[in-house]
Amino acid sequence: MKIFNPQQIKELDQYTIQEQSISSVDLMERAAHKIVDHITLNYAITQNFTVYCGLGNNGGDGLAVSRLLLKKGYNVTVYVVKYSANTSLDFDENIERLKKITTLRTIISEKHIPPIPNNTVIIDAILGVGINRPLDGLCKVLVDAINTAPNFKIAIDIPTGLFCELENYSTEHTLLNANTTLTFETPKLPYLMPSMAKHIGNWKVLSINLSSHYKHNIATEYEYTTLADIQKINIHRAKFSHKGTFGHAEIIGGAYGKIGAIVLATKACLKAGVGLVTAYTPNCGMQILQTTVPEAMWTGNQPCDFYLEGNYINTSKTIGMGPGLGVHPKTQAFLHLVIKATSTPMVLDADAINILAKNKEWLKDLPKNSILTPHPKEFERLVGSFNNDFEKLEKLKEFTETYNCIIVLKGANTAICSPNGQIYFNSTGNPGMATAGSGDVLTGIITSLLAQKHKPIEAAILGVYIHGFAGDLASTKTGQISLTASDLIKNIGKAYLKIKQVS
C-alpha cells in the first residue's frame, strides 16, 4: 500500500472527484460516513461527544460527522474554532446542513475556550493535512487545553498540528495527543514513526474508495506492506522441485556462551523453507548444533572465542552472518575475509553490523544488494546520530544508496530501505517480539528466502512480514509478555499457511 505525501493526497482527491463525477462535498460525506460507522461500532448511544471543527475541509469532516452522529441519536456538542476569516466551500455547505438540526457554538478567542466536561469523547477536526505553519494563537491554546484534559480523543485524519513532511517539522511544535486517529485511504508517514506514537495513538485506515487508477500509477517514496502486497509474491512449490531447488544457506555465528543465537537462526532458516542449511560456528558449537538441529550440517573448527581466517572456505552457499558472532579482533578480520570472498548478496546482523560500524572502510566490499538488519542502536552505530525520525529516514536512504545495500531497520513497523531509497514499512509484529533471540530468527528467515532465490528486496520484505506474522500468531497463544524467540520459529509454518490461505 502506497503512502502519499500531502500534495499527492490533494491530487488523489481531485482525481477521484473527476474520475467518479462526484462532488467534493459528497466525497466528504463518504468520509464522514466511514468515521461514523467506526464510532457506532465502538460507542453506545449514551456516549457524549464534543467535536472541535476548524475552518477547512478537516473542519468540514467534523461538521458532517457531527450531523450524522446527531441523526443517529448521540449527544453531540459542536464547536467551530474561529481562528481566521477564511472557510472552505465544503465547510460552508456543511455548516448550512448542520445548522438545520442543532445550535452551533463558536470559539472566537483564547479567552473563550469553554471547560471540557469529563464525560465526553473529544473529536479533533481542527486541522488536517492542510496545515502549513505551526500552531499559534487560538489553535495552540485550544490544543494545549485539549491535551491537558483526561478525555479520550479521536483525531480525524491527522491530529491537529502534525506535519507529514520534514519541511516545517520541529519537535518544539504543539500538536494534539490523540488516543485514536481515523485516517482515509492510506496511513500517513508519521504514523510509522516511534516518536509520533503518543500523538497518533492507535490508528485506523478507512477506505473511501479513492481512485485506484491514480493510486496505481503514482510513484511514492514510502510503502506500507499489507497482506495483499505479500500475496503477490510467489511462494508456490512446484511438484517436481527438490531440495536443491530451494538453495543452501550458511549461517555463520555463535561464540562460547552464545551458540543459542545460531541455533535459533538455523532452525528459523529451515522453517522458512531452505533446501539445505549449514551452521558455521566455533567448534564448541558442534555438539549443540547437531543435537538441537539435526536437520542442519555443521562446519567450523575454530577456537571457541573467536574465528580464524585460515578456516574459511568460500562456497556458493547463501550466507547469513552475525548472530552471537562476537567482536574479537580476529573475528573482525574473519568477517572482512568472508565479505571479500562472497560475491552474491548476504545477510549481516548483530555483531557483523557492529564490526562493520567499527570498520566503515569495509562497507565498500559488501556484495551488492546485501541485507543488513540492525536494531535501532546498531543502526545508530552505522550511520551516526540524528535529530528526529524524519532525519533518520533520510540517513537510511543515504546509507543504502552509498553502499548499494538493503537495510532492515528493526522495531515496530520495521523499515526496509532498498538501494534506490524506496522504504517499505512492515505491518505485522507486536511488542512481545522485543525479546532475546527474536532478531536471530529474522536473520534465519531472510537468509532462507535469499537462498530460495527471492530477489534481495523481496526476501527482506517477505522475511520481515513472515517474522512479524509468526509473532502475531504466537502471541494469540502465549500473550505478548511470555512470547519467546522459539515461539516465533514454531509459528513460521502457520504464517505461510495463512498467507496462502487468503490468496
Ligand X SMILES: NC(=O)C1=CN([C@@H]2O[C@H](COP(=O)(O)OP(=O)(O)OC[C@H]3O[C@@H](n4cnc5c(N)ncnc54)[C@H](O)[C@@H]3O)[C@@H](O)[C@H]2O)[C@@H](O)CC1
The smaller minimum CB distance to K ion, of residues 9 and 156, is found at 156
56 binds ligand X, rule: CB under 6 A: yes
Which of 436, 453, 479, 502 forms a contact with ligand ADP (CB under 6 A)? 436
Question: Under 8 Å CB-to-CB from 10, ≥6 apart: which residues?
Answer: 129
Which of 132, 171, 476, 501 forms a contact with ligand X (CB under 6 A)? 132
Structural element, H or E, at residue 18: helix 6-19
β-bridge mates for residue 321, sequence order: 252, 348
Residue 130 binds which one of K ion, ligand ADP, ligand X, none, with CB within 5 to 8 A depending on kind? ligand X
389 binds K ion, rule: CB under 5 A: no
- Phi/psi at 82 (nearest 5 deg)? -90, 75
Write down the least CB distance from residue 55 to K ion, Å.
Answer: 12
31 binds ligand X, rule: CB under 6 A: yes
User: Residues 125, 130, 131, 136: is their CA dihedral positive or negative?
Assistant: negative
Write down the least CB distance from residue 124 to K ion, Å.
Answer: 4
Q: Residue 135 half-sphere exposure, CB side, CA atoms within 13 Å?
A: 24
Which amino acid belongs to residue 242?
A: H
Task: Answer yes or no: are the C-beta atoms of 378 and 396 closer than 8 Å.
Answer: no
Write down the least CB distance from residue 264 to ligand ADP, Å.
Answer: 8
Q: Residue 282 half-sphere exposure, CB side, CA atoms within 13 Å?
A: 24
Task: Answer yes or no: are the C-beta atoms of 151 and 120 closer than 8 Å.
Answer: yes
472 binds ligand X, rule: CB under 6 A: no
Pairing of strands 276-281, 248-252: parallel
d(CA 216, CA 214): 5
- Phi/psi at 438 (nearest 5 deg)? -60, -40
β-bridge mates for residue 320, sequence order: 251, 347
Write down the least CB distance from residue 320 to ligand ADP, Å.
Answer: 13
d(CA 439, CA 489): 11
442 binds ligand ADP, rule: CB under 6 A: yes
Which of 117, 137, 257, 431 forms a contact with ligand ADP (CB under 6 A)? 431
Residue 434 binds which one of ligand ADP, ligand X, K ion, none, with CB within 5 to 8 A depending on kind? ligand ADP
Helices 389-403 and 376-383: crossing angle, nearest 10°? 60
Task: Give, as ranges, the residues between 44 and 63 that touch K ion (CB under 5 A).
Answer: 58
- Taking CB under 6 A as the binding criterion, the range among 102-110, 128-136, 218-226, 359-367 that sits at the site for ligand X is 128-136
Residue 160 binds which one of K ion, ligand ADP, ligand X, none, with CB within 5 to 8 A depending on kind? K ion
Task: Give, as ranges, the residues between 358 and 377 that touch ligand ADP (CB under 6 A).
Answer: 375
Instruction: Cite the annotated binding site by residue number.
Output: 57-61, 124, 128-134, 157, 160, 261, 324, 375, 410-414, 439-440
Q: Which residues bind K ion (CB under 5 A)?
A: 58, 124, 155-156, 160
Q: Which residues bind ligand X (CB under 6 A)?
A: 9, 12-13, 27-28, 31, 54, 56-61, 83-84, 86, 88, 127-133, 135, 139, 156-157, 184-185, 210
